[in-house]
Structure 1
Amino acid sequence: MADPVADPTRPLAGVRVVEISSFVAVPLAGMTLAQLGAEVVRVDPVGGAADYRRWPLTDGGESIYWAGLNKGKRSLAVDMRSERGQQLVSRLIAGSGVFITNVTGRQWHSYETLQRDRADLIHLEVSGRADGGTGVDYTVNAAIGFPLVTGPEGWTDPVNHVLPAWDVTCGIYAALAVVTALRHRDATGAGQRIGIPLENVALATTGNLGLLTELMINGTSRERIGNAVYGTYGQSFTSSDGVAFMIVALTGRHFRDLTTLTGTNEAVAALSKLLDVDFSDEGQRYRHRAALNDLFAAWFRTHTAEEIAAGLSATSVLWERYRTFAETVASTRVTENPLFTEIDQPRVGRYLAPGLPASIDGVFPAAVPAPALGDDTVAVLSQLLALSIDEVDGLIRSGTVA
């Protein structure tokens, strides 16, 4: 892979980050920093870390997953079990000044050790549990409570989410923490030691959304509600030709438009009188959602998907039809979205890859292919550590780097 060219229009141009990681949270943090203009050097063991062959794979056995989370980085492959390998990486970290990792318990790259060589080091470590124990998204999620309120009403078994929500959220928190630490260092000259337990990310989010607070204050726990939206009106419906839609009516206007479209104004008014409730209150719409669902479902059942889409498009109601990944990848929201750039990913192929999902001065930073393992080993050692070609050759022959 060619050396990345720093784009001075990106806010982190000139910042170098060293990453030792695997799986989602820290690789996502590193990639986000790279998309913001930082030079990110991912350091892996010779042969790759635990995620280097993670599914999905191409027919040739290359990890599409790994390519997706390491776009725009440089790759250095080092035998980090050897003293010489550890020395090389430590020098690289000291020269770079920012280190992010989720590989915990390694004294040689702990904050205490690395800070001796770089007093203003920014050192970020993502761990599993707040008590220092191990954990991944799915075990953390199991411990918080979401799988027991996810799924259809009346279901009793836990339902895991498909999206690794805590990993993704943690990765963004980690990138944000690095950016704020850089600002702090620019202002004070001091580095920072940052710890982010994945479990704390899940707990903070759960608390911020009120799921823990309602137990502490009201003594009530969230219930399983299927495809409804808690606290307001939202529900999935199916057309006469079998297409599912998600409908959300957050405001009074949304709800009025929905009743008008479905021809249920009189029925909803009668229901309001019968139950002695005011449906301009979204809480009442949520509380009596089952009765409202029955009224609206009849209209959806008697109209085709095309008719439903046309009708909803003329209203303020928030809606979308349920789509598969296959439908999404073929849609204009991908094919005509400036978020996506066609890249030629070595060993994988040509495809549309997302860059940073935020525009900067109206421009979305373009996606840059991920390296293959060790693609930048020689360049990093010679350019960043100023090793001679003979020294680099010796390291390769000894198996210290690959």
Structure 2
Amino acid sequence: MLAHMSTAPSPAALQGLKVLELGQLIAGPFAGKTLADFGAEVIKIEPPGTGDPLRQWRLLHEGTSVWWQVQSRNKQSVVLDLRTPEGQAQVRRLALEADVLIENFKPGTMEKWGLGYEALSARNPGLIMLRLSGYGQDGPYRDLPGFAVVAEAMGGLRHLMGEPGRPPVRAGVSLGDTLAALHGVIGVLLALQARQHSISPEAPKGRGQVVDVALYEAVFNCMESLLPEYSAFGAVREPAGSALPGIAPSNAYRCADGQVVIGGNGDSIFKRLMAAIGREDLGQDPGLANNSLRAARADELDAAITRWTLEHPVDEVVAQLQAASVPVGRIYTVRDIAQDPHFRARGMIERIVTAQGLALEVPGIVPKLSATPGSLRSLAPSLGEHTQAVLGNLPSTD
């Protein structure tokens, strides 16, 4: 049951949208979850026996991952073996009525099963197929296996993560998968909008298309000025630890009992920060009047700020800088998140009770829509929970 249920809009933003999710693990299912949160009917196809491997990932309760309760909420589970002609035929039947099909198999797999876009769109011209893969549907690397860890490295992100002169580190979550999923959702919404402009007697829902998202490209798209700086100046950005190269002061700083992050890089913010730490001399220094000047003296500024933060506990640093309207924050653990009143006031922590009776807190829904917000309508399904109901009255493809 949903111990705390979001107010369900009527109609939901994506009410009436039918989505067929064939992906597994993170990228495809995260895209499906996002669409489902806003009212889409998402039918998740799982292999017989074990289902989506995510059911067994990380910490389990009575044999099922608690992560599963987030990734598959608001979805229906249908068991089909896509490697068999019978399973493939059922997908073709489901695809006749679908608006969107999500898959994140190795390129060519869907075609091998007779489920490529050309085959499915011939019977359903309005179908939109979201295809998520490591390297995309074409290009010399298309057939290579690609996971988020590789995409983050190839997209330029991993090289920048860590301390100078030391091996790169990872973020601790699969950013490549999640970034690809979000780009995929954007692509689906764009394709739905475009479909509206192509309605005709031959295609009463309009013409669909393929949304091709490569994990490495989703990462690369978030790399800001990395490429133009190299193109113009031959500059290869290197890892800088917790600092933001070329932006100063902006860093993590040690306090008497922990650490905080401070963003003092706006011109007026910088002056307020310097006043708060008792360094008005730096705040009024003409040689620090703008960011480019401050960036050249970033080490000097970080040292001055650290001398002050080390003298005070985290709570005092946060309180004083917030009072001065300087962006500052403690570095949260999940315990801090769970105890923070702002997360709860914004609906970012929802309470559910799983089918096994486990009371669980899960992340709320993003983004916030004022008129048609997302909602938690149903729990993550058990394996094959909806197989009979979904397949019972499907049209034939013959």
Give the TM-score category using the shorter length.
0.7 to 0.9
Out of 122, 126, 130, the position equivalent to 1:124 is 130
**Letter of the aligned partner of 2:254 in structure 1?**
T
Query: What residue in structure 1 maps to residue 212 of structure 2?
Result: 195
Q: Secondary structure at the match of 1:342?
A: strand
The answer to whether the Cα contact below 8 Å between 2:272 and 2:283 also exists between their aligned partners in 1 is no
Distance 1:236 1:203 in 2: 25
Check conservation: 2:155, 2:217, Cα contact below 8 A: no
Indicate whether 1:152 and 2:156 are aligned: no
Structure 2 residue runs without a partner (length 5+): 199-205
State the secondary structure of the residue aligned to 1:250.
coil
Q: Which moved more, 1:100-109 or 1:16-25?
A: 100-109
Shift of 1:26: 1.2
Identify the residue that residue 288 of structure 2 maps to in structure 1.
279
Amino acid across the alignment from 1:225: A
1:121·1:192 contact (CA, 8 Å) conserved in 2? yes
Q: Secondary structure at the match of 2:60?
A: coil
Tell me which of 345, 349, 354 is aligned to 1:340.
349
Residues 285, 124 of structure 1: CA spacing in aligned structure 2 closer, same or farther, 3 A cutoff? same
Shift of 1:267: 5.2
> C-alpha deviations, 1:74-131, integer Å up to 9, x for none?
1101122221121111101112232111123222211122123212221221111143
Contact kept? 1:141, 1:202, Cα under 8 Å: yes
> Aligned to 1:106, what secondary structure does the other structure show?
helix
Aligned-residue offset at 1:337: 3.0
Q: 1:40 aligns with which of 39, 42, 47?
A: 42
1:80: which partner in 2?
82
User: What is the RMSD of the two structures over their aligned residues, measured on CA atoms?
Assistant: 2.4
Residue 139 (structure 1) shift: 0.9
Work out whether residues 157 and 220 of structure 2, in 8 Å CA contact, stay in contact via their aligned partners in 1.
no
Letter in 2 for 1:128: G
Quote the offset at 1:218 in angstroms: 0.6
Q: 1 CA distance for matches of 2:95 and 2:60?
A: 33
Note the 1:118-267 alignment, pairs <5 A.
Answer: 118-130=124-136, 131=139, 132=142, 133-153=144-164, 155-188=165-198, 189-206=206-223, 209-233=224-248, 234-240=250-256, 242-266=257-281
Is the 8 Å Cα contact of residues 9 and 371 (structure 2) preserved in structure 1? no
The code of the aligned residue for 2:269 comes to: H
Q: CA deviation at 1:197?
A: 1.4
- For normalisation by structure 2, the TM-score amounts to 0.87
How far apart, in 1, do the equivalents of 2:368 and 2:185 lie? 17
Aligned residues: 374
Per-residue Cα deviation, 1:135-159 (whole angstroms, up to 9, x for no partner): 1110111223332222123x23222
Alpha-carbon deviation of 1:57? 2.4
* CA contact 2:130–2:210 (8 Å) conserved in 1: yes
Shift in Å, 1:13: 0.6
**1:190 deviation in Å?**
1.2
Q: Secondary structure of 2:67's match?
A: helix
Task: Give the TM-score normalised by the residue count of structure 1.
Answer: 0.86
Q: Is the 8 A contact 2:93 2:395 kept in 1?
A: no
**How big is the shift at 1:175?**
1.2
Give the equivalent residue in structure 2 for 1:399. none
Contiguous gaps of at least 5 residues in structure 1: 388-402
How far 1:30 moved relative to its partner?
A: 0.7
Letter in 1 for 2:65: S
